[in-house]
Structure 1
Amino acid sequence: MSKILDNNYYDLIISTALAPTYDTGDNITYLNRQNSLLHIPIGNANPCDLGRHSYSSFPTLFTLTSTVSLEKSGVNTVQQNPALALFGSGVLVAIIDTGIDYRHPAFQNSDGTTRILSIWDQTIQTGTIPDSFNFGSEYSKEQINEALSSEDPLSIVPSTDLNGHGTAMASILAGSPNQEQSFRGVVPQAEFIIVKLKEAKENLKAVYFVPESALCYQESDIILGTRYAVEIAANANRPLVICVALGSSQGGHDGRGAISAYLDHLTLLPGTASSVAAGNEGNDQRHYFNSTAAPPYYNDIELRVGNNDTLFSMEIWSYSPARLTIDISSPNRESTQPIFPTINQCRRFSFIFNQTTIYVNNIIFEEETGDQLILLRFSNPLPGIWYLRTQNPENEPFSFHSWLPAGPLLSNETFFLNSNPDTTITSPGNARHPLTVAAYNQNNDSILPESGRGYTRTGQIKPDISAPGFQITCAVPGNQYGTATGTGAAAAHAAGIIAMVFEWAIVRGNYIRMTGNDVNRLMISGAIRNDAYSYPNNIWGYGQVEINRLFERFTNL
């Protein structure tokens, strides 16, 4: 078995420049020119393996950013006929997600042939492995067409989408029209590159204290899926729009991280763009912010822990030059006493009068950011209100952010009592150059309460723009139609508009050097702005995306 699939090996992110010094022949997986994976034996797994190895070397965990429903909405979803008859012809769109129901008519031409150029299913190990990769199965357009014309398609191309999220996102972006369902994707003539992500390794979930049953995906597989899409597009000599409808609240919310850096790089290249969901953490009470400017120089975080959350983590990121201690008190007032920062120490605390175990990494400087990170991992915490006292031993002003995990990795019963809805955009939405998309209700022009809010922890303006994201009509597996709500749906919608610009600029030869970042700036300049607000702001970004205004600016150039 390939080590990238073997749960007896950790996948650690290292610099590609350093990979040759670790290479023993089968322990390195190349991700991209910046990073590679080092596969190391786990041995006796211990939560303090995160401590022996740096926080940033463990891939981040990502969850889905839209809720897909089978209920029909009947909503006319602001998918008007694009100006200049731009339908995405000649453009490739990549969906890196839960897969696709390739048998759905939303992904077929009028003659019943597929609009999918290729599928890389990371979960199937019995087919042909794609070139330059070392696991999964690749299915070509020809194989998919053969499957569609057979009586038993899955015997030829066994790839499916049991979740439905990837199918929904792909259809919003570029689904073929269905008049009965009042459905049409934004660019129904674009072709698809589909990556079905394998689920995160159990050992990575264990390191981050994520329940085994939680559905999540690891950063390294998303990077590999992105590189696959880039290589397919390069071979086809076609422009590419990458849609990332996934998000994570791990990390410093500052645009760093392996997947953010990769998308940053790609978005500055001609003919490559990325549309990223802002996440749905705006109203989940999972972010806390404190700024202590006067004595006494401490702050008490109040964390409400629900009955069902028996395994979870929490991160505290402070700003230099502060150097914080943390003292954790249970609802029955047992305490760890102050824990001081160190370089790589990992400490375990077992409470006497309840079943709680807490692992604490108070890292004086996290390698990727240089900032202090306090990582707390809870096992069987006593339900109730926990008190976490942060203090600056130097008796100087300090400030910090704290985040709980995103999406279904935590129930809504666990939250900060004095939460802050800002700085809740999930990774990779904090990256600088990808288009980060918030979601609004297109029926009443109100922002979705759950839509992630900016800015980044370092003050960079995000989100960039907002797009329709409420009960967007979409395809769901089994030849059915439903709706999708959330920033993932909004990111798919915006990705379709990017594809329209690429068709005008690159496919039609009007501006062949256009980069994804160029498109983003054009979309921002053409956005609709409400006189009641000032722009940019941390909720709407630069306004609501507007196709016709964008192309009016093109034609008036």
Structure 2
Amino acid sequence: MSKILDNSYYDLMISTALAPTYDTGDNITYLNRQNSLLHIPAGSGDPCDLGKHSYSSFPTLYNLASTISLEKSGVTTVQTNPYLALYGQGVLVAVIDTGIDYRHPAFLFNDGTSRILTMWDQTDQSGTIPNEFTFGTEYSREQINAALKSPDPLSVIPMTDVLGHGTAIASILAGSPNEQQGFSGVVPQSDLVIVKLKEAKPVLKKVSFVPENANCYQESDLILGIRYAVTVASRVNRPVVICIALASNQGGHDGRGAASAYLDHLALLPGNGISVAAGNEGNSQRHYYNSTLAAPYYNDIELRVGSSDTLFAMEIWTYAPARLSIDISSPNRESTQPVYPGLNQCRKFSFIFNKTTIYVNNIIFEEETGEQVILLRFSNPLPGIWYLRAQSPENEAFSFHSWLPAGSLLSNDTFFLNSSPDTTITSPGNARHQLTVAAYNQLNDSILPESGRGYTRTGQVKPDLAAPGFELTCAVPGGLYGTATGTGAAAAHAAGIIAMVFEWGIVKGNYPRLTGNDVNRLMISGAVRNPANTYPNNIWGYGQVDINRLFERFTSN
């Protein structure tokens, strides 16, 4: 078995420049020009392997950024926009997600053939591996059409989408019209590139303290999916818009993670559009911020832990030059005593009067950012209010952010008592040059309460724009239609508008050198701004996306 598929190996992120020094023939997987994977034996998956190996070498875990409902809302669709007759013709749109129901009418031409140009199923090892990759199965349009003609298409191509998220996102972006359902994707004449992500390795979930049954995906597989989309676009010499409707609360929320950095780089190249969900953590109470400017130089974080959350992690990120110790007290006042920052340390605390075990990594120098991060991993924590004291050993002023896991990785019963809704944009939404999309309710022009808020931890303006994200009509596996709500749905809507601009600029020859970042700036200049608000702001970014105003800027004198 390939080591990238073998759960007895960790996939550690390393610099591609260093890869040759580790290469023994089959233990390196190339991701992109910045990063590669080093596959090393995982043994039993000891939590303190994160300590022997750096925090940033373990891939971030992502989950889904929209909720799908089978209930047909009856809401008049907001997707259709015939302005300038731009339907995405000649543009590829790529969805890297949970797969797709390729048999759904939303992804077929009128003659019943597929609008999907190519699919890479990372979970299927039975067919032809894509060129330049090392696992999974690639399916061409010809193969998909052959499957569609078969009495049992799934016996020919077994691609399914059990969760329905990828199907919904792809349909909002590019679904074929269905008048009966009042439905159309934004660019129903674009060609689709689909990547079905494989589930994260159990051994990575184990070391990250993520429940074994949680649906989540590895950053390294996402990077490979992005590279696949770019490779396909290069092969057929067409512009591509990549939609990322996934979210993670891991990392420094500063755009410096591996996936964020890759998307940031691609958005500056001609013909690469990037639309990323801002995440749905705005009202989840999973972010805490403190600034302590005067003595005594400590701060007490109050964390309520619910009874169903028996395994989770949280992170504390400081600002240089501050250095913090951490002391953790349980609801019955057992304490770890202060843990001071150091290198390569992993401290295990087993509480005497309850079954709680806590692993503490107080990392003085996180390799990706150069900043201190404190990683706390809880196993069987006693339900109730926990107290975490962050303190400056030097008695200096300090400030820090803390985040709990995003989405379904945690129940709503675990949260910070004094939480902040700001700085809640998830990764990879914090990078600079991609389009990061918040979600609003298009029926009453109000932001969705869950929509992630900016700015980034380092003060970068994010989100960029808000797009419709409330009960958007979407395809649901099984030939059905339902609705999707959240910033993933909004990112899909915005991705369709990027594709329209690419069709106008690149395919029609009006501006062949357009980059994704160029399109973002055009969309920002054409956004609708409420006179009651100041822009940019950390909720709406630069306003509500408006395709008509965008093109009016091109055509007005």
Q: TM-score range by the shorter chain?
A: over 0.9
Answer yes or no: is 1:516 the counterpart of 2:554: no
Q: Does 1:401 align with 2:392?
A: no
SS at match of 1:494: helix
The alignment partner of 2:451 has SS state of coil
- Amino acid of the structure 1 residue aligned with 2:171: S
Give distance in 2, aligned partners of 1:32 and 1:363: 27
1:483 corresponds in structure 2 to: 483
Whole-Å separation in 1 of the counterparts to 2:154 and 2:343: 52
Q: Which position in structure 2 is the counterpart of 1:66?
A: 66
Aligned position for 2:129 = 129
Q: Distance in 2 between matches of 1:541 and 1:180?
A: 35
The code of the aligned residue for 2:93 comes to V
TM-fit CA distance, 1:488:
0.1
Q: Is the CA contact (8 Å cut-off) linking 1:82 and 1:547 kept in structure 2?
A: no
Paired residues for 1:136-535 under 5 Å: 136-535=136-535
- Tell me, what secondary structure is at the counterpart of 2:316? strand
- 1:111-152 deviations in whole A, cap 9, x for unaligned? 111000001000010011111111100110000011111111
SS at match of 1:444: coil
Q: Deviations over 1:470-522 (max 9, x none)?
A: 00000000000000000000000000000000000000000000000000000
Native 8 Å contact 1:288 1:401 kept in 2: yes
User: 1:343: how far off?
Assistant: 1.2
Q: Distance in 2 between matches of 1:314 and 1:161?
A: 30
Residue 469 of structure 2 aligns to which amino acid in structure 1?
A: G
CA distance in 2, matches of 1:23, 1:175: 43
Deviation at 1:80, TM superposition (A): 3.8
Does the Cα contact within 8 Å between 2:504 and 2:510 map onto a contact in 1? yes
Q: CA deviation at 1:90?
A: 0.3
Report the alpha carbon displacement of residue 82 of structure 1 after superposing the two structures with TM: 3.0
Deviations 1:325-359 (A, max 9, x none): 11100000000111110011100000000000000
- Give me the whole-angstrom Cα distance separating, in 2, the residues matched to 1:43 and 1:188: 48
Kept after mapping to 2: 8 A contact 1:304/1:384: yes
Partner of residue 539, structure 1: 539
Give 1:34's aligned residue: 34
Compute the displacement of 1:68 (Å): 0.3
- Distance across 2 between alignment mates of 1:359 and 1:79: 47
Please give the secondary structure, in 1, of the residue aligned with 2:109. Answer: coil
Question: Aligned equivalents of 1:323 and 1:261: distance in 2?
Answer: 26
How many pairs were matched up?
557
> Following the alignment from structure 1 to structure 2, what is the Cα–Cα distance between the partners of residues 408 and 44?
26
How far is the alpha carbon of 1:45 from its aligned partner? 2.3
Paired with 1:340 and 1:23, the residues of 2 have a C-alpha distance of 35
Query: Does the 8 Å CA contact 2:80/2:185 hold for their aligned counterparts?
Result: no
Consecutive unaligned residues in structure 1, runs of 5 or more: none
CA distance in 2, matches of 1:183, 1:45: 47
Partner Cα separation in structure 2 for residue 99 and residue 80 of structure 1: 24
Deviations 1:80-103 (A, max 9, x none): 423110000000000000000000
Structure 1 residue 77: Cα displacement:
2.7
1:408-445, Cα deviation, whole Å (9 max, x unpaired): 00000000000000000000000111100000000000
For residues 377 and 191 of structure 2, the distance between their equivalents in structure 1, rounded to whole angstroms, comes to 43
Hey, what's the Cα distance between the residues in 1 that align with 2:79 and 2:216?
A: 30
Deviations 1:266-301 (A, max 9, x none): 100000010000000000000000000111110000
Output the amino acid matched with 1:94: A
Counterpart-to-counterpart distance in 2, 1:243 and 1:70: 22
8 Å CA contact 1:109, 1:176 repeated in 2: yes
Secondary structure (helix, strand or coil) at the match of 1:124 reads: coil
Quick one: distance in 2 between partners of 1:152 and 1:184? 27
- CA contact 1:82–1:548 (8 Å) conserved in 2: no
Q: Distance in 1 between matches of 2:315 and 2:542?
A: 29
> Deviation at 1:44?
3.6
Q: Secondary structure at the match of 1:527?
A: coil
CA distance in 2, matches of 1:497, 1:327: 49
The equivalent residue for 1:17 is 17
Distance 1:234 1:374 in 2: 41
One-letter identity of the residue aligned with 1:35: N
CA contact (8 A) 2:59 2:220 kept: yes
Runs of 4+ in 1 over 6 A off after TM superposition: none
1:90 maps to 90
Structure 1 counterpart SS, 2:534: coil
Cα distance, 1:43 vs structure 2: 2.1
Q: Is the 8 A contact 1:172 1:489 kept in 2?
A: yes
The separation in 2 between residues aligned to 1:340 and 1:232, in whole angstroms, is 48
Read off the aligned partner of 1:489 and give its amino acid letter.
A
Secondary structure class of the residue paired with 1:12? strand
Structure 1 distance, partners of 2:524, 2:553, is 12
Contact residue 362 and residue 372 of structure 2 kept, 8 A: yes
The alpha-carbon deviation at position 15 of structure 1 amounts to: 0.5
Query: Share of identical aligned residues, percent?
Result: 80
Answer whether contact 1:327 1:336 (CA < 8 A) is retained: yes
Partner SS state of residue 207, structure 1: helix
2: CA distance between counterparts of 1:492 and 1:130? 25
RMSD of aligned Cα (Å) = 0.6
Kindly state the Cα deviation for residue 79 of structure 1 after the two structures are TM-superposed.
2.3
TM-score by length of 1: 0.99
Q: Distance in 2 between matches of 1:548 and 1:28?
A: 48
CA contact (8 A) 2:301 2:416 kept: yes
**Structure 2, gaps ≥5 residues long:** none
Taking the aligned partners of 1:435 and 1:334, their CA distance within structure 2 comes to: 46
Distance 1:182 1:349 in 2: 57
* Residues 306-328 of structure 1 deviation map (CA, whole Å, 9 limit, x = unaligned): 00000000000001111101110
Contact residue 107 and residue 115 of structure 2 kept, 8 A:
yes
Q: Is the 8 A contact 2:345 2:363 kept in 1?
A: yes
Q: In the TM superposition, what is the alpha-carbon distance from 1:393 to its structure 2 partner? A: 1.2
Output the CA distance in 2 between the equivalents of 1:303 and 1:120: 41
- Asked if structure 1 preserves the Cα contact closer than 8 Å seen for 2:260 and 2:431, the reply is yes
Question: Do the aligned residues in 2 keep the contact of 1:256 with 1:368 (CA within 8 Å)?
Answer: yes
**What is the letter of the counterpart of residue 468 of structure 2?**
P
Offset, 1:179: 0.5
1:31-57 per-position Cα deviation (integer Å, ceiling 9, x unaligned):
001100000011242100000000000
Q: Is the 8 A contact 1:77 1:442 kept in 2?
A: no
> Following the alignment from structure 2 to structure 1, what is the Cα–Cα distance between the partners of residues 489 and 355?
41
One-letter code aligned to 2:75: V
Deviations 1:158-199 (A, max 9, x none): 111111000000000000000010000000000000000000
Q: Distance in 1 between matches of 2:351 and 2:172?
A: 49
SS at match of 1:163: coil
Indicate conservation of the 8 Å contact 2:80/2:184, yes or no. no
Letter in 1 for 2:260: S
